[in-house]
Amino acid sequence: MSDLNVQERHSTQLPITEAACLQPDQVLEHLGSSPAGLTNQEAAERLEELGPNAVRTHRANGWAVLGRQFASPILILLIITAGLSLFLGDATNSIVIGVILLVSVGLGFTNEFRAERASEALHSRVTHRAVVLRDGTTQDVDVTALVPGDVVHLSLGAIIPADIRLLSTKNLLCDESILTGESLPAGKDPAAVATGSSLGDLASCVFMGTVIQSGGCTGVVVATGGRAEFGRIALGLGERQPQTEFQLGLKRFSFLLLQVAIGLTTLIFIANLLLHRPLIESLLFSLAIAVGITPQLLPAVVSTSLATGTRQLARRKVLVKRLVCIEDLGDMDILVTDKTGTLTEGRISFTGALPASPEVSDVELLTLGLLATETDYSEAKQSAAGQNPLDAALWESAGANAFDPARFERLDLIDFDHQRRRTSVLVREAGGPARLVTKGAPEDVLALCGPTSPAVQAMLDEQFDAGSRVVAVATRPAAGLSRITPDDEKDLVLAGFLVFLDRPKANAKESLERLATLGISVKIATGDNAKVAEKVCSELGVLSGGTLTGADVDALSDTELAATAREATIFARVSPEQKARIITLLRQSGGAVGFMGDGVNDALALHKADIGISVDSATDVAKDAADVVLLEKDLGVLAEGVMEGRRIFANTIKYVLMGTSSNFGNMFSAATASVVLSFLPMLPGQILLNNLLYDSGQLAIPGDRVDKEQLLAPSHWNIAFIRRFMFLFGPISSIFDFATFALMLFVFNAVPGEFRAGWFIESIATQTLIIFAIRTRRVPFFRSRPSAGLLSASLGVVAAGIFLPLSPLAGVLGFDPLPVPFFLAVLGMIVVYMVMVEFAKQWFFARAAQQLPEIPTPVRRRPDTHHISRRASRFSAPVVAVVPGRPVRPRLPARRRRKVAA
C-alpha cells in the first residue's frame, strides 16, 4: 500500500449517516478495509495519522495544576495588592506576603499534582479492550488503538468502542439512552437505511458509548475519538469530571464561607477607611482576613485524601479506576450482588444425575447433558475455556471420562440466552437419526414437556429445598431436521435432572454482618431458582425481606417495582435486562446503589449502578463495565473499600470544621480588634503566615484515624450542621482571643510588636491544637487517639509558631520579644480553652440534630453529564487531540506505537 493511497483514504471522512445508507461491502471499500479487517501495518499508519480513539487525556499536566492554584480571585487580588504595596514603597510587607503566597501555592500544587499522578497511575493499570480482526486473525487491542477500517466483534454487555457500521448481527439490541435519552433498546440490522434518516433511526449502525443489551455483532469502525457522535458530546463537556455529590457539597460550603468572608472584609475595609488608615494597608488587611477565613488548602486536602485512599485500597486488594470512585464507595447504602462466588464458594461441583423414568440410566442422562453444551466435544475435557460454570463442572466429573466424542455428530446448535434460559443441540449418534436435546432451567424446560408428574415435581422440590442447583434435560426424535430454531423446542420428553452443589463461603456470614453494621442493605440478584437462593440466605442468617422472581418483576409497573424492590432481599431467575431495571429503579427511589457481578450477564446492571463492582477473575466485559475491581471476590474486601471511602469523607469534614470554627473565630477577633485598637492587631503578612502554618499542619489529616461510629452510615454534606458548628465554636475561640488582647494590653502593657507576637502565638496554638477535640466525638487521646502523623504535624506547627516571634526573623516579620510570664499565661489559657471546647462539644453532639448516624436526606439524582463523563473515561489516552471536522496527528508514546505495529 502506497503512502499516497493511505493519504487519499484518510483525506475523505465517511460520516456515519452516509455509512448507514451504504451497503456493508461499499463501506468496507470506502474505508480501504475487508471482512478480514486491516493489517497491523495499516492500523499503525492510521493510528499515527488520525490519532488515538480517545476523548480524554489522563496524563498529569503540571502546568494545568499550577494554573488552578491561581484561580482563586482572592489570591489574584492579594498578588495585585502586594505588587501595589511594593510600588508604593512597602517592600518588606510585599516580600513577606510574596513568600507566603509562593509557599501556599507550592503546597497546593505539590499535593494536587501528586493526586493527578495517582489518577494517571490508575488509568495505566486499567485497560479497556476490544476484539478486532487484523491480518486475518482475531486480536485483543486497547480501545484507544482502534482506527477506521477495523473490523470488530462485540457481544452482550459490551460498550461500543467507536461509531460502527454493522456487517452482521445476531438478535442485536442496543441501549442508546446515553445518546438519545430513549429508555427502550434499539433493534439493529445490517441492512442499509434510507437516505436522510435521523441518528435514532440509523439501525444499521451502533454508536460509541452505547451498550449491547442482547445479542452480538460484527462491524467496521467508521469514526473514532472526537469524530464519533458520543465523542463530540464528551469533548463538549471538557476534560474535568462532572462534580460528584461530595464535590457539590464542597462548593456549597465554599459559598457559605464566601458569604461570611465578603461580609467581614467589607465591614473591615470600610471601618479602617473611616479610621483614616492607609488605603493599601486597609486593603491588604481586609484581603488577608478573607484568605484567613478560607481554608485555602481544602482542594489539596481532598486530593491528598483520595490519593492516599487509592494506595490504602490497593493494599486491601481493591482497585479503583477513578479517584472519585472512592467517594462513591463510601456513599453506597444498597448493594445488589450475585450469589455465586460471593455468598458461595464459586466452586460448583456435579453431585449426581436423577433420571425422570426407569428407561433413562444415570450414564445416559449425563451423556445427554454433555451433548447439550456449546463447546466443542473434542476440546471440552482439556480446557474449560468458553464454558459456563455448570458445564465446566459437568465435564470435570468422573462420568465425563467415559464420554466418547467420536460417537456423536453435532448438526446444529441454539446457544443459551437469558430469555429462553436453555441450550439446544441437534445431534445424531453413529450415523443414526437426528435427535434434539435441550438443557436448561427446570421451569423453562418442563414447560416444553408434557404434564409434570407429582413424583417428578417432588424430586425437583426436594433438590431445591436442599439448596442444590438443578438443570433439566429433555429430548425428542428429530428425524429429517438438519437445522433447528427455537420453534423446534417443543413436544419434549423429560430425561431427568443434573444436580450441582455450590457451598456457602465460610466467611460470608461475617462479611454480611460487617456490611450490615456499615448501614448497607445487601440484596441478591441471581439466575438461580428462588428456593436455592433462599436456602443459601437462610444458612448465612440473612433475614429476607421477600423474594421476587423474574416473572414477578415483569408483572410489576415501574412504580410498583420501585417500592417492592426496596423491601425485597432476593431477586431470583432474573435476566440481565431485569437486573438493570431493578438497579435503575432502586437508584430512583433514593440512596446510592452498588452492583457486584462478574459475568457477561451482569454487564448491563454494572453500567446502570452508581458504583459498579467486579473482580479480577471476572469476564472482560464485566471488568470493563465496573468502576471498582476487587482482587478477591469477597464481600469482606468490599467492606474495606466502603470504610476507606467513608474515612476520606470523615477526615475532610474534620478540616472543614476546623476552618469554620477556629478560622472564623480568629478572623472575627481580628476584625473586631482592628476597629477597637489604634493599630492593626496583626499585619497582613502575619495573618497569611499564621494561616499558612496552620494549613500546612492540617495536610496530615488525610492519614488520621477515624472513630468506628463515623463509618456506620454514609455521611453527606449538611451545611446547616456546619453553620451551627461555626456559630458555637467560632465565638468560643474569639472569647480566648479577647482574653489574650486584655492580657497583652492591661497586664503586659504591650506595644504593637509585642501585641502581634503574643496573639500570633496564642492564635496558632489554639487553632492548631483544637483539631484533637474536633477530630472526634469522643474524649480525645483517652478514647480516640490521633495518628502519629497528625500529632507530629500539629506539635511541629505550634513549635514553629512559638519560634518565629523569637527568631532572628522576628524583626522582618514585625514581631517584638515577649516576657517569659506571657508563655505561662498562654499555656493556662490553652488548657482552659481545650476544656471549655470539650464541654461545648459534648453538649453540641448530645442534641438530637447531631446524632449519629445521620439520616441521608433527599433522593439524589445524578445529571446526564455524570454518566456521559463516566462512560467517556474508558476512552482516555496519555495525549489526545481529537478535534471534530479535521484530521489531527497526535503521537502515541514510542512504546505504544511499537506495540500497535507489532
Q: What percent of the chain has pLDDT over 90?
A: 20
Backbone CA torsion sign across 484, 485, 490, 496: positive
Name the H helices within 747-805.
752-769, 771-774, 788-803
| Span of 3-7, 86-90, 483-487 with lowest mean pLDDT | 3-7
Q: Is the pLDDT of residue 619 over 80?
A: no
Do 423 and 416 form a contact (C-beta atoms < 8 A)? Answer: yes
507-533 confidence digits (pLDDT tens): 888 888 888 888 888 999 988 888 888
Q: What is the pLDDT of residues 588-602, one digit of tens each?
A: 876 789 999 877 778
634 is catalytic: no
502 pLDDT tier (thresholds 50, 70, 90): confident
pLDDT, tens digit, 9 for 90 and up, residues 800-835: 999 999 999 898 888 999 999 999 999 999 999 999
- Average pLDDT taken over every residue of the chain: 80
Marked catalytic residue, from 142, 175, 338, 704:
338
Q: Which of 265-274, 448-457, 875-884 has the lowest mean pLDDT?
A: 875-884
For residue 280, pLDDT over 80 is answered with: no
Binned at pLDDT 50, 70 and 90, residue 368 comes out as: very high
Q: What is the pLDDT of residue 374?
A: 78
Predicted pLDDT at 399: 85
Mean pLDDT of 478-482: 86
What angle separates helix 324-331 from helix 298-315, to the nearest 10 degrees? 80
Contact 520, 545 (CB under 8 A): no
Most confident range (mean pLDDT) of 285-294, 626-635, 739-748, 874-883 is 739-748
Phi, psi of 374 (to 5 degrees): -80, -15
pTM over 0.75: no
pLDDT digits (tens, 9 = 90+) for 491-500: 999 999 999 9
* pLDDT of 892 strictly over 50: no
Q: What are the backbone angles phi and psi of residue 425, rounded to the nearest 5°?
A: -130, 150
- Least confident range from 40-44, 232-236, 322-326, 432-436: namely 322-326
Question: Which one is predicted more confidently, 191 or 388?
Answer: 191
CA distance linking residue 52 with residue 145, whole number of Å: 6
pLDDT higher than threshold 50 for residue 889: no
Taking only the tens place, the pLDDT of each residue in 675-701 is 888 888 888 778 878 877 887 787 788
pLDDT in tens, 532-544: 888 888 888 887 7
State residue 142 phi and psi, 5-degree precision: -65, 140
* Neighbouring-strand partners of residue 216: 170
Sign of CA dihedral 185, 188, 194, 196: positive
All three cell numbers of 345:
464458594
- In degrees and rounded to multiples of 5, residue 596 shows phi and psi of -115, 120
* pLDDT at residue 856, as a whole number: 43
pLDDT of residue 895 exceeding 70, the answer is: no
